[in-house]
Structure 1
Amino acid sequence: MASDPTPPAEAANTAIDSVSVLSEDSRRRMYTFIRRARRAVTRDEAAASVGISRKLAAFHLDKLVDAGLLRARYETPGGIRKVGRRPKVYEPTDGQITVSIPDRRHELLADLLVDAVLSEGADETAAQAAMRTAEKRGRQMGEAVRDETRPGRLGPERGLTACERLLDRFGYEPVRETPTQLRLRNCPFHPMAAKAPDLVCGMNRAFLSGYLNGLEVSGVEAVLAPEPGECCVRLCPSDTERDDEMAQDH
């Protein structure tokens, strides 16, 4: 899986900033005009599209560039080189704006399902392929983080601390209930999980189990523990860890 160059929390903040920039009417209309033009647009053209001065248009265009919605460069329209300074032109970036509060990760779920369909074996059902794909993706992510951070041996407490970063990045809103248990306040796959709980919650558990395995966290497991309005999965002490704790208590 390709690494995400921008952490989701940071990306969410960027998206909110972008939406805020587009709240101004002239700015939003110029942005729409430039996107529909399908070519680089000059300041004069952008100003004329909304009926404002070139100077005011430049101010709004610079705001759109700062927000990452447009990119600017100098170019002679039509490719004809003329004497003097080339005009500044603007064109849309490739980025998409998605804002969801609380955070949703439908693109991850869709990606996993596509991989499952493309890799489904003759001896497995579609649901089995989905679980396998989710576990594999989580494991690969855990292995990548372990290779990068080299955390050494990870018991329950240190392991959950290492997991919290991923869980927070993907919108799970983790809450440490005890030193060895994480409750996940948000389901990043809602409302799909409500529509197909067996499939989506099963994939969610498989994904988080794979991550624990890839990160080599001992004494912790991902278990299904549905609660209204929360994620269906919790990270809890494994059966072996619980047995050890009970033995120590006695």
Structure 2
Amino acid sequence: MDLGSHAARIGALAESTRRRLYEYVVSQPGAVGREQAARELDLAPHTVNFHLDRLAEEGLLDVEFRRLTERTGPGSGRPAKLYRRTDREVSVSLPPRRYDLVGDVLAAAVTRAMSGDPLATSVVEAAHEAGRAAGSTARPEGGAAEATLEDLARALTGLGYEPRDEDGAMVLANCPYHALAQEHTELVCGLNQHFVQGVADGVGCGGACACLEPQEGRCCVVVRSERQR
């Protein structure tokens, strides 16, 4: 999901009545009906209907239909429309941050290490595999056998790296793991290098090499062609 969609979701909570309704629904142990919310918050039913549906449209609440009584058959009425907190996570970070990705890679690495593999090797392999998986989803379809640096740049842009060309090399203006890299530089930057290399391999950009070239104000990884190394 793009930045605009995430921002729209969070922006839906800026309206005070809508935010009250959201906070009420998520504080309840079960799904909440419109009449219950209107009664508890002393709001007009049509106001509650409008705001709950808006929250559902933005993906902040899930909807289910269920009968609230045991009556069935003719005259039992239609199932009630109920709202509950969604399991989907919504967050916006500027500049883009992907700490979840580091967590996934390290969890995969620890799982490997528990089976007897060296931890350092496990981190390298897990990072490269995660990158390859991410890159493969961005691989051009029906194009040339080998992807270009432009294809790789598009894939890295989607991952929050903000690639830019500098003298034929691809520098990454943003580090999606900035805070972690400040505290655990060797681990995170090494993981990052192998992840970016995995993205390049997954996209199919065979001549791209992810190199560690730390510099203040940007990501520690620079992507160069093999002839530039």
TM over 0.5: yes
Which amino acid is 2:190 matched to? G
Q: CA deviation at 1:145?
A: 4.5
Which amino acid is 1:13 matched to? G
Percent identity over the alignment is 32
User: What does 1:12-51 align with in structure 2 at a 5 Å threshold?
Assistant: 12-51=3-42
Q: Does 1:149 align with 2:141?
A: yes
User: What does 1:49-64 align with in structure 2 at a 5 Å threshold?
Assistant: 49-64=40-55
Contact 1:142–1:210, Cα closer than 8 Å, also in 2: yes
Distance in 2, Cα, partners of 1:84 & 1:71: 22
Q: Does 1:111 align with 2:122?
A: no
Distance in 2, Cα, partners of 1:40 & 1:79: 17
Relative to 1, partners in 2 of residues 1:151 and 1:20: Cα closer, same or farther, differing over 3 Å? same
Q: CA deviation at 1:137?
A: 2.2
**Structure 1 stretches of at least 4 aligned residues deviating more than 6 Å after TM superposition:** none
SS at match of 2:97: coil
Q: CA deviation at 1:78?
A: 4.0
Q: CA deviation at 1:131?
A: 1.5
SS at match of 2:76: coil
Pairing partner for 2:161 from 149, 172, 189: 172
1:186-205 Cα distance to aligned partner (Å, 9 max, x none):
10011001111111000100
Q: Does 1:92 align with 2:81?
A: no
Relative to 1, partners in 2 of residues 1:213 and 1:90: Cα closer, same or farther, differing over 3 Å? closer
Relative to 1, partners in 2 of residues 1:30 and 1:79: Cα closer, same or farther, differing over 3 Å? farther
Structure 1 gaps, min length 5: 1-5, 244-250
Distance in 2, Cα, partners of 1:115 & 1:75: 40
Which amino acid is 1:88 matched to? K
Q: Does 1:236 align with 2:224?
A: yes
Aligned to 1:248: none
Q: CA deviation at 1:227?
A: 2.2
- Provide TM-score, normalisation by structure 2: 0.88
Contact 2:197–2:209, Cα closer than 8 Å, also in 1: yes
How many residues align? The count is 226
SS at match of 2:43: coil
SS at match of 2:174: coil
Q: CA deviation at 1:86?
A: 3.7
Contact 2:135–2:155, Cα closer than 8 Å, also in 1: no
Distance in 1, Cα, partners of 2:46 & 2:116: 64
Distance in 1, Cα, partners of 2:4 & 2:220: 26
Q: CA deviation at 1:46?
A: 1.1
CA-based RMSD of the aligned residues comes to: 2.2
Q: CA deviation at 1:144?
A: 5.2
Distance in 2, Cα, partners of 1:216 & 1:83: 60
Contact 2:138–2:155, Cα closer than 8 Å, also in 1: no
SS at match of 1:99: coil
83-92 or 228-237, which deviates more: 83-92
Relative to 1, partners in 2 of residues 1:202 and 1:177: Cα closer, same or farther, differing over 3 Å? same
78-87 or 12-21, which deviates more: 78-87
Distance in 2, Cα, partners of 1:234 & 1:193: 16
SS at match of 2:148: helix
Contact 1:26–1:50, Cα closer than 8 Å, also in 2: no
Distance in 2, Cα, partners of 1:63 & 1:80: 30
1:106-130 Cα distance to aligned partner (Å, 9 max, x none):
1110000000001026462x23321
Contact 1:167–1:174, Cα closer than 8 Å, also in 2: yes
Distance in 1, Cα, partners of 2:209 & 2:32: 55
1:161-206 Cα distance to aligned partner (Å, 9 max, x none):
111222111110112335x421111100110011111110001001
